[in-house]
């Protein structure tokens, strides 16, 4: 398996994850969004050169009032840097084999690297459905109480620890 940044060399046409909106976005919008600096997309490619999965990231900010209270505590009332994991999907034939976790690990590592250059405290996700909501909760993402399909947040340093990645910036290669 290898992770590549999306380019016009990859054949995305056969990607099927079971959620049409996520398939279509990859095929139709991902490259154009990347060209316009609206998102960055990373593709996991199998040894057979099949698209195994992908995720996309965008930098953003969140005001403390829009955070789950447990994450807002002690923060100033200004926009706090975050990285939005806009989309993440694994091709159907590769689901249930740990690749979703691998993509999340890669996304959190990228978010942490971005945060070393332009401070980001949180990684946020917009789950596409209840299954996705549960997937992210499984990894510790926190919702606003009572908001069962809205945006979920996780502190990047907590995500690094939970996923077994180093948290000391000196352990990371910033030129990656």
Catalytic residues: 136
The residue to which tokens 């593709």 are assigned: 43
Cross-strand bridge partners of residue 41: 56
Q: Which two tokens stand for residue 78?
A: 């200004």
Helix/strand/coil (H, E, C) string of 47-115? CCCCEEEEEEEEEEEEEHHHCCHHHHCCCCCCEEEEEEEEEEEECHHHCCCCHHHHHHHHHHHHHHHHH
Does the protein bind ligand COA through residue 87 (CB under 6 A)?
A: yes
Q: Which of 135, 144, 157, 172 binds ligand COA (CB under 6 A)?
A: 135
Q: Which of 6, 22, 30, 152 binds ligand COA (CB under 6 A)?
A: 22
Using the contact rule CB under 6 A, the part of the chain among 30-38, 59-67, 86-94, 148-156 near ligand COA is: 86-94
State how far the alpha carbon of 36 is from the alpha carbons of 6, 11, 25, 29, 122, in Å. 13, 20, 15, 11, 24
Q: Which of 51, 62, 80, 90 binds ligand COA (CB under 6 A)?
A: 90
- What is the smallest separation between the CB atom of 99 and ligand COA, expressed in angstroms? 4
Does the protein bind ligand COA through residue 88 (CB under 6 A)?
A: yes
Using the contact rule CB under 6 A, the part of the chain among 67-75, 96-104, 107-115, 165-173 near ligand COA is: 96-104
Does the protein bind ligand COA through residue 123 (CB under 6 A)?
A: no
Name the DSSP letter for residue 170. Answer: G
Contact by Cβ (8 Å): 142, 154: yes
Q: Which of 96, 145, 146, 164 binds ligand COA (CB under 6 A)?
A: 96
Contact by Cβ (8 Å): 34, 70: no
Q: Taking CB positions, which residue lies at the least distance from ligand COA?
A: 100
Does the protein bind ligand COA through residue 46 (CB under 6 A)?
A: no
Does the protein bind ligand COA through residue 127 (CB under 6 A)?
A: yes
What's phi and psi for 58, nearest 5 deg?
-140, 145
Footprint of ligand COA on this chain (CB under 6 A)? 17-19, 22, 87-90, 95-101, 127-128, 131-132, 134-135, 138
């Amino acid at each position: 398996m290898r992770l590549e940044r999306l380019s016009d060399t990859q054949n995305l046409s056969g990607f099927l994850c079971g959620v049409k909106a996520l398939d279509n976005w990859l095929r139709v919008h991902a490259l154009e969004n990347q060209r316009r600096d609206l998102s960055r997309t990373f593709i996991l490619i199998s040894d057979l050169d099949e698209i195994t999965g992908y995720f996309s990231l965008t930098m953003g900010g969140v005001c403390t009032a829009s955070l789950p209270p447990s994450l807002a505590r002690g923060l100033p009332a200004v926009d706090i840097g975050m990285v939005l994991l806009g989309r993440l999907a694994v091709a159907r034939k590769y689901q249930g084999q740990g690749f979703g976790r691998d993509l999340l690990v890669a996304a959190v590592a990228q978010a942490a690297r971005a945060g070393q250059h332009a401070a980001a405290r949180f990684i946020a996700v917009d789950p596409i459905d209840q299954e996705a909501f549960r997937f992210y909760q499984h990894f510790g993402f926190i919702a606003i109480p009572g908001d069962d399909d809205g945006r979920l947040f996780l502190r990047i340093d907590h995500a690094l620890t939970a996923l077994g990645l180093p948290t000391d910036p000196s352990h990371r290669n910033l030129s990656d």
